[in-house]
Amino acid sequence: MRGEEEAGPSSHPADEDDVKEMHWEPETGLPAALMADEDASRKVPKLQAGAGDAERPGLPNRAAQRAARKAAPETAGRDWFDLPATPITDDMKRDLRLLRLRGAYDTKRFYKSADQTKFPKYFAMGTVVETPADYYSGRLTNAERKRTLAEELLGDEQLTQMRKKRYNRVQAEKEHWAQKKGRKTDKPRIKKKPHRPKH
């Protein structure tokens, strides 16, 4: 009958062919000599018990690693694209101080506050290079280009006018209050009120 021929796997005992098929290692058809070489290459060679770190090939000792770290240039790290630790000169100090005061140049623009107690360790100074997409009116002329940030700020006419305007406003305000208040010698002497006796 057809039903008896198509019985499930539990109905008949396992043959040798079925056991071979269930084995996990695939049959590659390669000669036994090649398979033996392949197994030998997979095994990791054991190190000798007496061998130290210095004798192992490819592993530098700790002193060599420390010396290599000291010899490497000091940077802010890979996350900061290896920003270098720049030595600070007098010109750089002046420019960094001017950068701290950039909030005073334009009263309408606000900047995130930075640490005022010390100069940054990792930074880089650069020059803005205009792209061909920038129109000529947006670029600086050769006469307007300065060597340092201080020279550029002193040569900026807009900033100079703004600074003079603010200075004149502060002076006018001080003069106004000085006239109202008067000097101490110009004020009339305050007379003491007569003491009223207690009841």
pLDDT digits (tens, 9 = 90+) for 47-92: 554 545 455 566 678 988 888 888 888 898 889 988 999 999 999 9
Q: How far apart are CA 53 and CA 7, in angstroms?
A: 64
Residue-level pLDDT at 170: 94
Q: List beta partners, residue 122.
A: 85
Residue 162 CB neighbour total at 10 angstroms: 15
Beta carbons within 10 angstroms of residue 72's beta carbon: 8
pLDDT attached to residue 189: 74
Averaged confidence pLDDT in the chain:
78
Report the C-alpha gap between 11 and 3 in whole angstroms: 12
Residue 76's nearest CA partner among 122, 126, 124 is 122
Confidence of residue 134 (pLDDT cuts 50, 70, 90): confident
Mean pLDDT is lowest, of 11-15, 85-89, 125-129, for 11-15
- CA count, 13 A, side-chain hemisphere, 71: 6
Q: What is the pLDDT of residue 122?
A: 92
| Burial 7-31, CB ≥16 within 10 A → b, else e | eeeeeeeeeeeeeeeeeeeeeeeee
Spatial separation of the C-alpha atoms in residues 123 and 84, rounded to whole Å: 6
pLDDT digits (tens, 9 = 90+) for 100-111: 999 888 888 899
